[in-house]
Structure 1
């Protein structure tokens, strides 16, 4: 969340104490955020012109969070996981992919694929020194793990054929100790989440195996690994578990660990898991756009939990809706539900202009890979959404697209200026958000209003784009309706493929007034930790199962007023061969 100037209508004056600063404002009174994380995603240094950030490695150090990303021209820091400040540095290889960071001996240690290890005790300064000129071995997608007993391990791997490997390092010199061991490899015939493609259809090609990350908890070691490829919506982290850092590792029953194949923005792969100041676990992962380039990516943050049986899972339910950032320890995913519902999905749209292939409807279709574009980047290009009835609007997310840009790199004049107005009759308009003086680059600008306003029509007007045309992949309006939530889903069935046990087919009868459905499933009726969110359909094919396990399914229905949790659970047995 990066703020500039927020104006509450005169008729509803509510001073919220916003002060423009390096983030655009001080800490807001109400703390929520919405994926993708609103970072200053840099334009890459080559063409086509597009933004990218991925492979986050996050650490908590001396009261602040530090996020290191692939090819981002620096790293970020935050005190609250919401407001992120960019730190530039000339000391780190910031143009390398897949950095790793770890806190040891009162310092942060950093490594990328160039084999050097760097350290600092003052990460805010951007100043680092070389701790070891070379670890003595080439490692793709490295991960440094500091165990509670002080020992250090290096895990690495990036290949469609080769396994993830691990080796112990000397904690002082970072030189290898002992022999390297093979940790795990893929088996996409049995493990559906390892199959390629947006929806895990692909069996002919082996997935890319990458992004190892280890978390220790209650004397066990939980290893995340990323598959099947960063360009796919199905980008996920699988998981193995061991009683020793170098194994042997066994496949976890709950798999994948993180998975978000649909929604406004999909993907939850190649990331890191960390704890906040309250002891909550979080997973920061890579989300995909991958239209202009396969590496066109963003960052998402999701809560993660250990249940009472030691099952470790990242919770991605409604993972691109606004959520309240917790200020205490959460027990489980029930403590982390959407703060508001989506009001703008597929609602009628009017625009000042549009270009072929980028029609107005694409601004509200909940797909970051498509977008509306005006015919120019001129002032006063606009887009209007009719919510079709009056709602209490609590937040907005403005997702800009890069149409016709030629920008590369980062510059101080790369930012958007715009204003958002609202009306109940399309005649009298009041200012909702004023970004006319904004100078912070915020391509996924999330604005929590602080106080809800009643609105039917929402209009955004361009004042400045950094280059190209005024284009929006999602003008997302959030709030709550006063009507009823949808009824329970009826005539719900699940059939497992008799040949391919990784595949199930779900069918249901559309619930009256529902705009979408969240399919929840898992390895037991009380562990429905997987989420598969879809809009305006009555069937779904899921190809991401473990063919050797039984599964349980239920379906929630939702609309602008809230969520009806499914109360019918169906068991699907594994296919006996």
Structure 2
């Protein structure tokens, strides 16, 4: 049978709603973006959560609940640029390097924003998107996403939640969907020659299996015995002839939100569970979660997994976006590297680094902080506790409010990150004129100060502002001076400072013990404490050379993991870290 490679494009022309017909847009157009965040030197690193101008949600405005959020990212490459579609964003972002992102307010879009959107590039001919919050939706398409004059295929697909649209190399089209703690991930084939209507009935691909997959259990640390976990957020990636169906569990508000994967030889299966699932998982550290995402090939052919990270303070759907370098090993095992997943990593544009951890350590953890003022119990020590859910609130938002951190020893400072918090912000949608201005300085003696970053003239919206310094700076004291915020109070969850201190690395962790419990989905790991270490990274996996999962902990020398698969043998190792760097990994322990 002869396959027309350009079938979708020919279909649209035949139906009479191709670009340029009936007053449609031309191929060239100007894009409308928010102000571009620029810096004198192009950053070579990035740090999660990504510093996007996140939209304030309107979904809880009737309850006067104000919060920013970005979740369920669908990221695709189209004609050399990357486009990121996010739940309820009232638009979307584009980038040419996966690091600097610019918001597009499209000419036509979902009035209340898309919900768990799907996006697919078919051979750079058209970009498809869908994700109507109602669950009844058309496929939207455009060949000029920077202009954003989207048009709709004249057909409705019904009862879809968390859709994923996929077109294979041969022109066959498929839709997948599912968001439930009862129903499975399902899919059917669409007919590109008949308005992309279903060619088949729904096919059940797979469902949650909490009895065997510990990570699919609901709750913080998978510890809610009453409620079942959700299975949602399908995303299909084709790699070397195999189809990798990623899916999220158990719930977006938990630290354990991650993505598992099933593998098949055809889009509709049958699918086989990948034994290293979850393939994207970040339960520890400053900000948690690495679920309901998408995978895209970035610069240099490196894969990146974009995912949802949770805050869940103002509301359970208060979230951010993270990205993690992603790999397929020699056995075809897919995994995202989330170790040190909220520390600086090499940017996608840095050739040959594959998004590796930069080696800049957290200098500010638990260090003494003073402030110009604080409101009620929102004390300044919260900006160094490495917890996105706690925050300092100044008495007002006036210029002159300040924070000062004593690193307690001179250090080589490489970068910092200011994470603003929405404390009673009373903002909704995308109001104009949101921006933050500040000056950050350093000093060796607390008297003579050097400016690290001056944003006194910038008018950029930077809620999770990560700044890589153009050159290393030697300092002990770090001071933040507020000039302007758009919220009623200045509130910061963490002021994080990265770099290194000279000295010996932590010693190798010793006496690692793993006790797999009677419920084999659970394991208890203990090790000898190193009093001088800041924290530990616990790594585990299904083989000694596949320790692909990790959990960062501070101030403790034990960990309960409840995310294991029932019928797998696991291997564990622990490494210590502090301001000097990361110590040698312990011996690998096998746990039957």
Return the TM-score normalized by structure 1: 0.93
Q: Is the 8 A contact 1:518 1:555 kept in 2?
A: yes
Cα deviation for residue 209 of structure 1 reads 1.1
* C-alpha distance in 2 between matches for 1:549 and 1:511: 31
Matched, 1:163 2:184: yes
Matched, 1:527 2:553: no
Alignment partner of 1:219 is 2:241 = yes
* CA distance in 2: counterparts of 1:433 and 1:25, whole angstroms: 13
Matched residue, 2:81: 64
Identify if the C-alpha distance between structure 1 residues 27 and 218 changes in structure 2 by more than 3 Å, giving closer, same or farther: farther
8 Å CA contact retained: 1:404, 1:468: yes
Q: Of 388, 391, 406, which aligns to 1:386?
A: 406
Task: Work out the CA distance in 1 between the residues paired with 2:243 and 2:224.
Answer: 30
Number of the residue aligned with 1:53: 70
Quote how far apart the aligned CAs of 1:339 are. Answer: 4.0
Equivalent residue of 2:211, what SS?
coil
For residues 47-126 of structure 1, what are the structure 2 equivalents within 5 Å?
A: 47-93=64-110, 95-105=113-123, 106-113=125-132, 114-126=136-148
Do the aligned residues in 2 keep the contact of 1:418 with 1:461 (CA within 8 Å)? yes
Match for residue 29 of structure 1?
A: 42
Q: Could you tell me which of 265, 272, 297 is aligned with 2:294?
A: 272
* Aligned equivalent of 2:590: 571
Equivalent of 1:551 in 562, 565, 570: 570
Q: Which residue of 2 aligns with 1:189?
A: 211
Decide whether the 8 Å contact of 2:106 with 2:146 is kept in 1: no
1:516 lines up with 2:516 in the alignment = no
Secondary structure in 1 matching 2:222: coil
Aligned residue among 55, 77, 80 for 1:42:
55
Aligned-partner Cα distance in 1 for 2:213–2:273: 10
Q: Secondary structure at the match of 1:216?
A: strand
Name the SS of the counterpart of 1:363 in structure 2. helix
Unaligned stretches of 5+ residues in structure 2: 1-33
What RMSD, in angstroms, separates the aligned Cα atoms of the two structures? 1.5
Residue 426 of structure 1: SS of its match in structure 2? Answer: coil
Q: CA deviation at 1:149?
A: 1.9
| Contact map agreement 2:97 2:299 (CA 8 A) in 1 | no
Q: Deviations over 1:149-197 (max 9, x none)?
A: 2211100011110111010011242110122100111111211110111
Alignment partners' CA distance in 1, 2:154 and 2:114: 16
Indicate yes or no: 2:302 matched with 1:289: no
Q: Secondary structure at the match of 2:415?
A: strand
Matches for 1:483-502 after TM superposition, within 5 Å: 483-498=503-518, 500-502=519-521
Is contact 1:235-1:261 (8 Å) kept? yes
Match of 1:419 among 439, 443, 452: 439
Deviation at 1:215, TM superposition (A): 0.9
Number of paired residues? 549
Runs (5+) with no aligned partner, structure 1: 1-20
Q: Contact between 2:46 and 2:345, CA under 8 Å: does it hold in 1?
A: yes
How many Å separate the matches in 2 of 1:396 and 1:331? 21
Contact 1:553 1:569 (8 Å CA) reproduced: yes
Distance 1:511 1:184, change over 3 A: same
The answer to whether the 8 Å contact 1:280/1:330 transfers is: no
Q: 1:22 to 1:410 in 2, by over 3 A?
A: closer
* Aligned-pair CA distance for 1:552: 0.1
Normalized against structure 2, the TM-score is what? 0.90
Q: 1: distance between equivalents of 2:352 and 2:329?
A: 12
Q: Report if the CA contact (8 A) 2:94-2:102 is conserved.
A: yes
2:223 aligned residue: 201
How far, CA to CA, are the matches of 2:433 and 2:57 in structure 1?
16
Alignment of 1:210-359 (within 5 A): 210-327=232-349, 336-359=356-379
Give, in angstroms, the shift of residue 373 of structure 1: 1.1
